[in-house]
Amino acid sequence: MQEIYGDFLKYNLWANTLIAERAMLLTDLQFEQPIRSSFPSVRATLLHIWDAEVIWHKRLQGESLNTFPSRHFVGGRQAVIKGLTDHSRQFMDFIHQQAPAWFGSTIHYDTTSGKAFYQPAWQILHHCMNHSTYHRGQVITLLRQLGMETVPQTDYIHYLRVG
């Protein structure tokens, strides 16, 4: 499992970096432009991905947050993108440092609303990476709606093929 999830976190960093590179091509106005979606802009969607990755990373480290990290975040496009990609690298590094047995260990965490749960680390990782993949797809749709004709291919199989 260590090899599988280590690679999945490496893929996550790769995909988040591709999305970040495209988002940097937007103007600040486009980055924050309201568009009907799960989250109201590219900025809000990237912040949601970043929030979720931070929250799950902290839970895996034994810390449960009671608020979303972006709640008081005021940074612009570059700060959002740097924060997301820097954290994706930190998360990947954390996973690469874990012993094989850790992936099957039970993690206790509280949700942001305070409800307690217990799950194996590997299930949490699987959920978190699936969640990021889902919302990256939404970012790609938002980029297209903003007129971007060339969007990145972020499928896991593409990552494996381009190595």
Q: pLDDT by residue (tens digit) across 84-96?
A: 999 999 999 999 9
**Rounded-to-integer distance, Cα 58 and Cα 74, Å:** 21
Planar angle of CA 143, 148, 151, nearest 5 degrees = 75
Confidence of residue 110 (pLDDT cuts 50, 70, 90): very high
pLDDT of residue 35 exceeding 90: yes
Alpha helix stretches (DSSP H) within the chain: 2-23, 28-32, 42-60, 77-96, 121-145, 156-162
Q: Is the pLDDT at 1 greater than 90, yes or no? A: no
> CA quadruple 62, 110, 70, 78: dihedral positive or negative?
positive
Evaluate if residue 45 carries a pLDDT over 90. Answer: yes
pLDDT confidence tier of residue 103, bands split at 50, 70 and 90: very high
Mean pLDDT of the region 12-28: 97
- Interval 56-72: pLDDT, tens: 999 999 999 998 989 88
CA distance 107 to 19: 30
Question: Is 90 exceeded by the pLDDT of residue 163?
Answer: no
Residues in the chain: 163
Cβ atoms of 47 and 80 within 8 Å: the answer is yes
Q: Which domains does the chain have, with CATH numbers?
A: 2-66+75-162 (1.20.120.450)
Does position 27 have pLDDT exceeding 90, yes or no? yes
